[in-house]
Amino acid sequence: MTEDCIFCRIVDGEIPARVVYEDDDVLAFLDANPLAPGHTLVIPKDHYETLGDMPTDQAERVFAALHDLTPVVEESVDADGSNVAFNNGAAAGQEVPHVHGHVIPRFEDDGGNPIHAVAGSRPDLSEDELDDIADDISAATN
Ligand code: AMP
Ligand code: ZN
């Protein structure tokens, strides 16, 4: 528990939330300022700021909850689809520094955008630059 973290305070029961799922490691609750009916946040109960801070076993549990909850949330609000995403770091728009996955139900003709719209204009990258980026990432992961 991090004292000044609003999501840790929800986990601890100090702040009320509309909890829709809970297990030993994960809590899911409705977003208090929803972008759509059913907008749900899925968090690890332990405090980690970003995805990279979270141990693999915790990440697996958060993703499993997202996997199980997403179709349930969609059905509950009769949605046609959903965006499932993390704002990861302040530069990406993360306002609450406790990892949380958003499940945002989407509806035909809701006027929203795909996730491609989040990063501003597309960079003009050459084939060589793309190769270099891919090499850097694969060298660090393999
Ligand atoms: P992000 O920009 O990804 O950090 O999103 C934080 C989300 O948390 C926003 O969608 C807020 O509406 C939501 N939020 C903030 N405080 C609360 C709260 N007390 N209960 C539920 N959702 C919250
Ligand atoms: Zn926290």
Q: What is the pLDDT of residues 100-109, one digit of tens each?
A: 999 999 999 9
Total number of domains constituting the chain: 1
The answer to whether position 18 is within a domain reads: yes
Counting ligand 1 atoms within 8 A of each CB, the residue from 33, 94, 100, 102 with the most, and so the one to mutate, is: 33
Whole-prediction pTM: 0.96
Residue 65 lies in a domain: yes
Domain of 24 in residue numbering reads as 6-141
Domain-embedded: residue 1: no
Instruction: Answer whether residue 28 is part of any domain.
Output: yes
Give, as one character, the DSSP assignment of residue 80: S
Name residues contacting ligand 1 (CB within 6 A): 6, 15, 17, 29, 31-33, 41, 87, 93-96
Q: State how far Cα 3 lies from the chain centre.
A: 22
Of 110, 116, 44, give the one whose Cα is nearest residue 77: 110
pLDDT of residue 3 exceeding 90:
no
Q: Answer whether residue 30 shows pLDDT above 90.
A: yes
CATH number of domain containing 79 = 3.30.428.10
| Other beta carbons within 10 Å of 21 | 15
**87 lies in a domain?**
yes
Query: H or E stretch including 127?
Result: helix 127-141
